[in-house]
């Protein structure tokens, strides 16, 4: 599938991802176990401290993770994930999430995602994946 202009199974998955697209998340690149996704922090994403709600940062990282683990082709879902928030994000910030495959064995995988605002790291995410059978 990656042979038609760099398009992967992750691109097909993202085409149907209503949640990510609804938040303005963009697929920058996906292939060979890696992916980049980006999102601008909007006023609707702010919490009661007027900083970006961590759930939205997690969702961006989770989307990049999903793109990376689905770039190989078989349908793959999250088995778990955790995030460390290192710096607050603010309205207007453009965040980019860089996902990298660490290991894939059998139906399981581990992926790391770094979320950046420019050169500044704002969060680190680790996801565990599981390939599933599709009906």
* Mean pLDDT in residue range 33-47: 98
Q: What is the pLDDT of residue 135?
A: 56
Q: Report CA-CA distances (Å) from 38 to 21, 28, 97.
A: 11, 7, 6
Would the pLDDT of 133 be above 90? Answer: no
Q: What is the pLDDT of residue 62?
A: 98
pTM assigned to the model: 0.94
Domains contained in the chain, CATH given: 9-131 (3.10.129.10)
Cα–Cα dist 44/52, whole Å: 9
1: pLDDT confidence band, cut at 50, 70 and 90? very low
Return all residues near 25 (Cβ < 8 A) that are at least 6 apart.
Answer: 17, 37, 38, 39, 59, 60, 63
Q: What is the pLDDT of residue 2?
A: 42
């Amino acid at each position: 599938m990656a042979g038609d202009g760099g398009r992967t199974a992750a691109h097909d998955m993202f085409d149907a991802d209503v949640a990510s697209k609804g938040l303005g998340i963009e697929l920058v690149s996906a292939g060979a176990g890696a992916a980049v996704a980006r999102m601008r922090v909007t006023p609707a994403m702010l919490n009661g401290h007027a900083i970006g709600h961590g759930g939205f940062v997690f969702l961006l990282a989770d989307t990049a993770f999903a793109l990376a683990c689905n770039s190989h082709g078989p349908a793959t879902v999250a088995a778990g994930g955790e995030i460390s928030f290192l710096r607050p994000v603010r309205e207007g910030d453009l965040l980019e999430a860089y996902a990298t495959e660490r290991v894939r064995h059998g139906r399981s995988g581990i992926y790391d995602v770094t979320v950046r605002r420019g050169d500044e790291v704002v969060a680190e995410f680790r996801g565990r994946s599981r390939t599933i059978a599709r009906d």
